[in-house]
Each structure stands twice: as C-alpha cells, then as structure tokens.
Amino acid sequence: MRRLILNRRGASIIGVILVLAVLTLSGVIFVSIFSTGVEESTGEVLSSRALFAAEGGLEAAIGHLKRTPISTYWLWKDGYLAKPIGGGTMDVEVLEYESRDSTLTASNKCEPFESVISVTGANPARTVYVSLAWSSASNMALELYDNSVADCNNPAASATLIASSATAKVPETVRYRVQTAPPATLTYTARVTGAIGDVYKLRIAHPDETNFGTGSTCGQPAGPPYDSCMRAVISLGRHQNARREVFSGFSRTP
C-alpha cells in the first residue's frame, strides 16, 4: 500500500512538472508573439509619421513655389534640410522637371540635359531622376551617361555609363546622386533604346539648368510643353529611425 501511495505521489509530481513546463512554454511563446506584435505596430506608426512628414514637406515646397510673383518664387530652389515637422523632420530637394516625349526613329535616342550644382540654399539639389514609360509590347531600356554623347550608337566613346534600367517593367527608372563638388555645371545624357516606331514618355528631374526660369514668366520655351514651367520636388520624411520619401512633378501657367 505504501509503495502504491509513493508511486501515485511520484506520478502526481511528474504531472505537475509537465503542466508547469507546458504553461511556461506557452507563456514564453505568448510573450514572444506579443513583443513581435508591439514591434510591428510601433514600426507601422513610425513609418506612417515619417510619410506624413514627407508629404508635409512636399506640400510646403509646392505651396512656396506656386506663390506670386513668379519671378521671385518659381526660381526658389533652396529646399529644406532637417526642417522640423510634426515631431519629425523633412528634407526637400527642388528640381527642374522636363518632358522629353518622342518616337524612336532608330533603335536608340539620346537626350542631353544640363545641371548646375549650386552651393546656395539649405539643401541644394543633387539628384537626377529619369523615368521612361511606353505602351507598346517592346522591351525598352534606359541609360544615364555622365557627359554629352557624341554618337548615340556608341555612347561609351564619349561618356561613361553611370546608371541603367532594363527590367522589362514599365516604367524604367534610374536615379543618380551627383558626386561632383559644387559649384559645377554638368551635362548628362539619357539614352533610350527600343524598336523603331516605339512611342515613349521620358521625364527628367534634375538640378536647374543655366537658363531655367528667366524673366518674369516661367521661362523658355515660350510655348508648350513649357518645360521651364515644370518643377519636381523630392521630400524625405524622418521620424526616429523610420524614413519615407515622396516625389511629385507639377507645372504652373506662365
């Protein structure tokens, strides 16, 4: 009888230990899941706040650029650097925005553009952003070179390839951060490749060229597409360790 009681007590102790082990393991799993959920929730909140900061920077810059008189505000390109907004900060670059829509008459076409790298302003523009879109079934591609291209069939003879995109997706985009120390006036070339007859839309955002926005209007050319009446803004929002960026191209009537 005594041995039976001892066996039962032993079995009970083992059962209690097993139950405690299961409860402990469940608690650890719950704490782990709860902690992960809190981290994900916190990350989403910070990301949303960073996005709000970026959008706030975008709206502030566009609002400033669209004020009158045009001769004063449209030429503004100082941007913002670490400007406080809603508990976070935002950086803004103001760029010239050009439309170079065309149709390929050969297997490639080169579009040169000038950029003046300045030292003035809170956040002088340093970004070149090029986007290529098309509607045909062709697989078009986009390249960016660091100089004028003398022969579009052999671009490497006169310039160096610094960025490219050939992903079979629409649009193709390239982005480049200018490394040359200011002040400097630089020429870049966007090279489009595809099939003869391909119709495409090419958008180039870059630091202002020398003659951007001359006079009291948006500038030259005097008629459509009013390239000198087009601007682009890149806004980077930060909130703690979260970052979000937004981009917008827009125009105004001269």
Measured over the CA atoms of residue 251, residue 176, residue 245 and residue 126, the dihedral's sign is negative
pLDDT greater at residue 19 or residue 71: 71
Half-sphere exposure for 188 (CA within 13 Å, toward CB): 30
- Amino acid residing at 134: W
* Per-residue tokens: 15: 């059962």
Of the candidates 180, 173, 232, the residue with the CA atom closest to the CA atom of residue 208: 232
- Which of 2-16, 57-71, 143-157, 172-186 has the weakest average pLDDT? 2-16
Question: 38-45 long-range contacts, Cβ below 8 Å, gap at least 24?
Answer: 43/242
Strand partners for 179: none
Q: How far is CA 216 from the centre of its chain?
A: 31
Average pLDDT of the chain, as a whole number: 85
pLDDT digits (tens, 9 = 90+) for 53-101: 999 999 999 999 999 888 788 889 999 999 999 999 999 999 999 989 9
> Is residue 9 scored above 70 in pLDDT?
no
Say if pTM beats, i.e. exceeds, 0.85. no
Query: Per-residue confidence at 240, pLDDT binned at 50, 70, 90?
Result: very high
- Measured CA to CA, the distance from residue 201 to residue 85 in angstroms comes to 35
Average pLDDT in the 154-181 region?
94
Q: How far is CA 64 from the centre of its chain?
A: 21
> Is residue 15 scored above 90 in pLDDT?
no
Model pLDDT, residue 210: 85
Distances, alpha carbon 36 to alpha carbons 33, 39, 40, 183, 230, in Å = 5, 5, 6, 48, 45
Contact 147, 115 (CB under 8 A): no
Query: Per-residue confidence at 42, pLDDT binned at 50, 70, 90?
Result: confident
Query: Per-residue confidence at 206, pLDDT binned at 50, 70, 90?
Result: very high
- Measured CA to CA, the distance from residue 251 to residue 127 in angstroms comes to 19
- Measured CA to CA, the distance from residue 27 to residue 21 in angstroms comes to 10
> Is residue 28 scored above 60 in pLDDT?
no
Give the chain's domains with CATH numbers: 53-251 (2.60.120.380)
Model pLDDT, residue 6: 46
> Is residue 217 scored above 80 in pLDDT?
no
Query: Per-residue confidence at 4, pLDDT binned at 50, 70, 90?
Result: very low
